[in-house]
Every structure is written in structure tokens, then in C-alpha cells.
Amino acid sequence: MRRTVRSTIKSFALTLLALIALAAPVRAEDEVRIQEEIWVLPLPLPMFAYLVRPVGDGPFPLVIMNHGVSLNPTDRSFFPLVEFRDAAKWFAKRGYLVVAPVGTGYGAAAIDIPERGIYGPFFSKIGKCTNPNFRDAGLAVAQVDLWIIEYLAAEKRIIPKDVIVVGQSAGGWASIALSSMNPAQVKAIIVFAAGRGGRVGGKPNNNCAPDKLVAATADFGRTSRVPMLWIYIDNDTFFGPDLSKRMHAAFTAAGGRAEYHLMPAFGSEGHFFIGSPDAVPLWSPMVTTFLDAQK
């Protein structure tokens, strides 16, 4: 039965690819031709994903891009299918196959109708701020990354031991969690404005149990040995400079390997730095330097 379901999902994905306008190849400024696609990934928790890659058969090195979260079901239902398109295309133009999964419980998959007993499968909650479970919320999304790597390796679309994971906000937190597992396929991790529990009640710089977030960061650092680049922005009102520096200090003191950069203020809210095309020239030089050091 499971194989039949997976086969149906895969057939649907292939049909969807043929119909989506994004599937048309485009020419990059540097003459590297890339191709954008929308996939349905037949994982244990099936999900949509934006995919962009160089034109050709591959296999390619892989970049997985993890998005942030919203605790509001209505907000999750309006979540964009492509959140980091310009950033993803930057990696694709450099030879990577980029997958940006849309987590279950987001966008078209966000179905919450309590009166009918229907609930979207949102699996990355942290619980109440009195006793938040930051650790398991991060590891839940990290498991999705491992499923994606396994699936694409089995399909022979990627170079199995040439994987980079990039994450923003809660997606960055999941990427830190993934680093604590030290998957052999992942050679580097890059996070932008990583954390959980920011802006409680919509209030700037009002964090959910920040001391516990720092402690959970240290817990991940005890086993993490993957080279990491942490990028934060001075006017981030979710995870401001004081908190992000505390997280980094705790992580590295525990044994984690992370290079920290605090960028100048960007726009009216630095938390969404990676989502802006204007930010690409600002972060790409340090990302290039960091990745070159991992070769």
C-alpha cells in the first residue's frame, strides 16, 4: 500500500512539473543556464518543494534551504511557495541543485478546520514559553533534511557527500540541530537569523525563554562538529545581537564549530535579510569565502 501511495505521489509530481511555468529554463547573467521546478517530494511526510538547478542530468552537489515558521495557522496557510528564490538561484548558478521544501502544515497543505476535526500536520511546535521544547522542534525539521538527502541520493540526482544546508530563522535553528547529528553527507551549514521563540505576542525583542534557548544551543554544540557560518543582522527584532552572541558563545564553548558574523542593519527588519534580492551582494562574498575553505 505504501509503495502504491509513493508511486502515485511521484507520478503526480512528474505531471505537476510538466504543467508549472517555472519549469522553463532561464539564462543566468553569468551564462550558466538554470532550471526552476516545483516538486512533490515522496517522503514519509510528503511535501512540496521549490527546486532550482543547472540544466543537465547531474548529479549535482546539493543545497537544502530550510524556511522559518509561524505559530499562527492562518499565517501558515498564506506561506509562499518560494521564499528564498534569489538566494536559491545564486547557489544554482554555482552548480548546486537547490531544494527548498515547504514544510507540512504550510501553504496549500495548511488545513486547520477544528469544527470538522481536520488539522494541518504542523510538527515543529515548541510548546508553552514556561517550558519550551526547543531541541525536539529543531530535530523534527532536521529529520526532514535527512529524508531529502536520502531520497535524492537514491534517485542519483546528487553527489551524496557534497551537501550544504542553509536555514533562516526556525529553519536555521533546525540546521543547527542537524549539525548536532553530524550526518556524513553534510559538509557545511549556513544559518541566517537562526533561533526559535522570537517576538512573542508580536512584540519586538520579546523572546520566549531566551536562557533556555541558549542552553539548547549549547546542547547541540556538545556533539556538533560540522563547519558552520552564522549570519545575524543588527536590526533583527526576533533574535537581536545580544541573544545571538550568547547563543554563539554557548555553542562554541560546548565544542561546536561556528563562524559568527553580525551584519549592519538592513531595511526596516533585519530578520528577513536572506529573502531580499538586494541582500545577495552583501552576504554572498562571505558565503563564497566560507565554502571555498571547505573544499
pLDDT digit string, tens, across residues 106-150: 444 545 445 554 445 555 678 889 899 999 999 999 999 999 999
Report the candidate in 105, 151, 158, 163 with the shortest Cα–Cα distance to residue 10. Answer: 151
Beta bridge partners of 26: 34
Residue 2 resides in a domain? no
Res 267 pLDDT > 50: yes
pLDDT, residue 185, reads 97
Is residue 170 one of the residues assigned to a domain?
yes
Q: What is the CATH number of the domain that holds 117?
A: 3.40.50.1820
Q: Say if 21 falls within a structural domain.
A: no
The predicted pLDDT at position 31 comes to 75
For the sheet containing 33-41, what is the strand order? 25-27, 33-41, 47-54, 97-101, 60-66, 158-168, 186-192, 228-233, 258-263
Could you give the percent of the chain with pLDDT greater than 70?
A: 78
Whether 54 maps to a domain, the answer reads yes
pLDDT score recorded for residue 75: 55
Number of domains in the chain: 1
Nearest to 213 by CA among 256, 244, 178, 168: 244
Q: Does residue 162 lie in a domain region?
A: yes
Does residue 231 fall inside a structural domain? yes
Q: Of the ranges 10-14, 174-178, 244-248, which one carries the lowest mean pLDDT score? A: 10-14
Alpha-carbon distance of 91 to 279, in angstroms, equals: 14
Q: How many CA atoms lie within 13 A of 255 on its CB side?
A: 10
Please list, in sequence order, all residues whose beta carbon lies within 8 angstroms of the beta carbon of residue 23, skipping any fewer than 6 positions away. Answer: 17, 35, 36, 37, 38
- Looking at residue 81, what is its pLDDT? 64
**pLDDT at site 127:** 82
Q: What are phi and psi of 39, to 5 degrees?
A: -115, 155
What pLDDT is stored for residue 6 in this prediction? 46
> Average pLDDT for residues 181-208, to the nearest whole number?
95
Residue 15 lies in a domain: no
Whether 295 has a pLDDT exceeding 90, the answer reads no
Q: In which residue are the cell numbers 534569489 written?
A: 86
- pLDDT tens per residue across span 47-104: 889 999 999 988 999 999 998 776 555 554 445 567 799 999 999 999 999 999 986 5
User: Is 70 exceeded by the pLDDT of residue 291?
Assistant: yes
- Can you give the residue range of the structural domain that contains 64? 26-292
pLDDT at 156 over 60: yes
Q: Is the pLDDT of residue 251 over 50?
A: yes
45 pLDDT tier (thresholds 50, 70, 90):
confident
pLDDT of residue 222: 98
Predicted confidence at residue 32, as pLDDT, reads: 87
Please give the pLDDT value at position 9.
43
Residue of 234, 227, 218 lying closest to 287 (CA atoms):
227
The CA-based diameter of the chain, rounded to the nearest angstrom, is: 54
175 within a domain of the structure (yes/no): yes
